Structure 1
Amino acid sequence: MIAAAQIASPIDVARIRQQFPILSRMVKGKPLVYLDNAATSQKPQVVIDALVDYYTGYNANIHRGIHTLAEEATAAFESTRDTAQRFINAALREEIIFTRGTTEGINLVAYTWGRQNVQAGDEIIISAMEHHSNIVPWQILCEEKGANLKVIPINDDGELLMEEYERLLSNKTKLVSVVHVSNSLGTINPVKQIIDLAHQAGAVVMIDGAQSTVHMNIDVQALDCDFFACSAHKLYGPTGVGVLYGKKHILEAMPVFMGGGEMIKEVTFAKTTYNDLPYKYEAGTPNIADVIAFKAAIDFINEIGKANIAQHEQDVLQYATAQLEQIHGLHIVGKAVEKASVLSFTVDKVHPQDLGILLDNRGIAVRTGHHCTQPLMDRFCIPGTTRASFAVYSTREEVDALVAGLQKAIQLLL
């Protein structure tokens, strides 16, 4: 192996790993090497404890009751909203809408803002590296409205062709919706430039922050995006929870998404008046326990520090890249200059699924397939990739285990 110079880590990775119970388990007789963090991250004990504490200590519905448990649950739930507001630097707490995740956040915008503002002949722009969740909702909307979906192409390194994006923009462009960080390639897109150019054309911008929020400092005010969506489970938090940020004046002008309890002010059989933000978009009993535990996940990240996490992850990514490039027949897919800690690759004459199965036999968890970015795989003329994705608890030793596992698997398969 060719050793890459190790950057002095700003964090105590061994101590951090001890906070994640699952990292001590064995898989098929081998220590778990978890490299599927772009799909979902593992959960520290503080997040697990927050879930247990809610269910054992103050389980109650929120916003509706005056008894002690209800008030405690409501306070904890709304504290997460305040924490999320600070985490992405939203101007107002009412700009933070709780959803089931990034997918629901994007769909909410498509079903509300989209149906209100997009007309026949209008254009929506996405990119060639989008997750299906940022393709399908806009396809549905375009089919319904008679609008047109335009796609920003990419180069062979997996970077957006920004000059082509500028050519796509016109007075017909109503919305630009792009991923901040590609889940398949790790490419960090120049979203500030994308947003500024879109606004100059009079378009609204949606940013898919599912992958970026855990790796990068997010400041929605500095970005000036109109919408931003992310998921808790990629931020060391629970599944089934996400945040949709929207500028207040846009959210207030949008129609409601779902009807039910909590999103109303007054209901009669003749007419219903809707609640103020953010509750206008939070119908029914929410995912209370997981929202509360989401705060523990954000606090965990803040305690370590985003910059420290990013520095550590970049060291692991650079080391992994250097090691994998030494494997004969292995090709890294996605070589953008600006990358987050995602490493996708193919191996000549080897199917990604076969690699994944053999790696799993050694306790190594990677993702194989098209990663819900099938059009992107078509762009590279491949059926899919094997993807290793890193987190705050990833180590160079785990990369060494991956390399050894790949070498053994390739030897068996060829």
Structure 2
Amino acid sequence: MRSDELVGQVRAFLAEHAPATTERLEFLRARFDAGLAWVNFPQGLGGMDLPRDLQPVVDGELAAAGAPDVPLPRVGIGLGMAAPTMLRHGTVAQLRRWLRPLWTEEEVWCQLFSEPGAGSDLASVSTRAVREADGDWVVDGQKVWTSTAHEAQWAVLLARSDPSAPKHEGLTYFACDMSAPGVEVRPLRQITGEAEFNEVFLTGVRIPDAHRIGEVGQGWQVARTTLMNERVALGGDPVPRGDGMIGLVVRKWRARPELRTAAGRDALLRLWVAAEAGRLTAQRLREELAAGQPGPDGSAVKYANSHLNQEISGFELELLGDEALRYDDWTMRRPSRRDWRERTSGYRYLRARANSIEGGTSEILCNVIAERVLGLPREVAG
């Protein structure tokens, strides 16, 4: 399909579902059913079997018409991780059950992967999934650093189903109902004073076998699909030129001439060039993804963006001097979205510390880049 033909379809859809007079949820459901949610997905599942690089055509037309969209920070785990994982490994019944409410924000998803003793070494998870005589599963264990668990209806869950097998071969992947008996969510307070993420305790949680994603014992392969998509989602979101964290600091530089110095100008120029290089690299990665599955390149983009955000937030702190040291937002808030643009420079500096931890630590990403991108030998086990 040519882009002009797709534009025609979008405009015909808008003629039937005028954003100004159509209720938001009704509009989002209709958009999904019309195949305009993510055009690269199959027909009947929110897509049209079209190349992924045609999605901006749809998004641009809808945005120009003032159409509602889904809030990415709140449903990012579902859209960026759960959905592509299910598309590759799930059954038709699972896709039909979960994709539509996932996309329309009716059901929020979280990720039950990391554990107190298995963060960087994810394959060492100890949460147990025991199969009952009726074929269903009972899960016991603890997960940690789980974003949006306090709002989620569903979670992707990695558990050990065969403790006698090698650690990468004894895992199975599930969709877990967060409202099921035995699921307990507790907030974890972070350095910003907020509690974006949680620890989750699973005690005798029953999961139907119909909610298993992928084959028994193949959980690591399924989880790798999630992880590769996670790093692309965290590091490869489209950002307009001069926007994002660097854009915020540049606007502050222009508005506050009394803060400018020659050394500051040179540092800001270096950061702007690095941000633009990162933006173009992420754009190239998205174009490559349009024709296939995400690979290890997403780890490099995520690594670079994480450390760049930390540098930019540090520069903003130095630029403002004493003014930046005032920080009084220590309330135990439970945000559903990370509104860093509306917060103080102190908040941005503190929050950016997490960028090199969440979604895979920088140390692990460096190993991925070294082994799977550069082809270097595996790190010697200690």
- Give the TM-score normalised by structure 1: 0.23
Query: RCO higher in 1 or 2 (8 Å CA, sep ≥ 6)?
Result: 1
> Which structure has greater helix proportion?
2
Q: Structure 2 length as normaliser, TM-score? A: 0.24
